[in-house]
Amino acid sequence: MKRKILAAVLVLAMCFAFAGCGGDSGDKDNAKEKPKVTSITGSWECEDIEVTDNGKKVSKDTIKTMFGKDFSSVLKLTAYGDGSADINMMGDEGVISWSETEDNGYKLSYTGPEAESAGEMNAKLDGDKLIVTVKETYLSDGKEQGMEMKFTMKYLGKKSKLIEGWDVTLDDDEIYAMSNAMVGGACVEADGMLYGDYGGKEWGKGAFTAAKIKDGKLKDKTVIAKDTKASCLSVYDGDVYGILDKEKIVKVKAGKTKAETLYTGACDYMQVTKNGIYFTDENDKYRKMGFDGKNKETVLDKGVFYPYQVSSKFLIYQDDADGETLHVYNMEDGSDTKISNFVSYEPMLRGDYLYFYTPGNGENMQFMCRVDMYSGKVDKAEGAAIVYDYYVTPKYIAAAKGGFVKIKFSEWDTFSNTSSAGTKAYPVYSNGKTWIAKAYGETYMDTKIFSTEEGKSIGFTYVKEE
pLDDT at 10: 47
**pLDDT for residue 136 is more than 90:** no
Residue 60 CA to residue 62 CA, distance in Å, equals: 5
Q: Of 181, 179, 157, whose CA–CA distance to 169 is shortest?
A: 157
Tell me which fold the domain 2-25+35-157 belongs to. Answer: Lipocalin (2.40.128)
pLDDT at 423: 56
pLDDT at 332: 95
Query: pLDDT for 437-465, tens place per residue?
Result: 766 543 333 332 333 344 333 444 444 44
Query: Vertex 16, ends 14 and 21: CA angle to 5°?
Result: 150
Residue 331 CA to residue 163 CA, distance in Å, equals: 13
- pLDDT band at residue 111 using 50, 70 and 90 as cut-offs: confident
> Could you tell me the end-to-end alpha-carbon distance of the chain, in angstroms, rounded to an integer?
56
Q: Does domain 172-465 have CATH number 1.20.950.20?
A: no
Question: In Å, how far are 38, 42, 73, 154, 333 from 157, measured between CA atoms?
Answer: 12, 6, 17, 9, 21
**pLDDT for residue 166 is more than 70:** yes
**Of the listed ranges 95-104, 276-285, 442-451, the one predicted with least confidence:** 442-451
> Percent of the chain beyond pLDDT 70?
80
In the chain, domain spans: 2-25+35-157, 172-465
**Of the listed ranges 40-54, 218-232, 452-466, the one predicted with least confidence:** 452-466
Residue 378 CA to residue 81 CA, distance in Å, equals: 11
Question: Which range has highest mean pLDDT (128-142, 308-322, 431-445)?
Answer: 308-322
**pLDDT for residue 197 is more than 90:** no
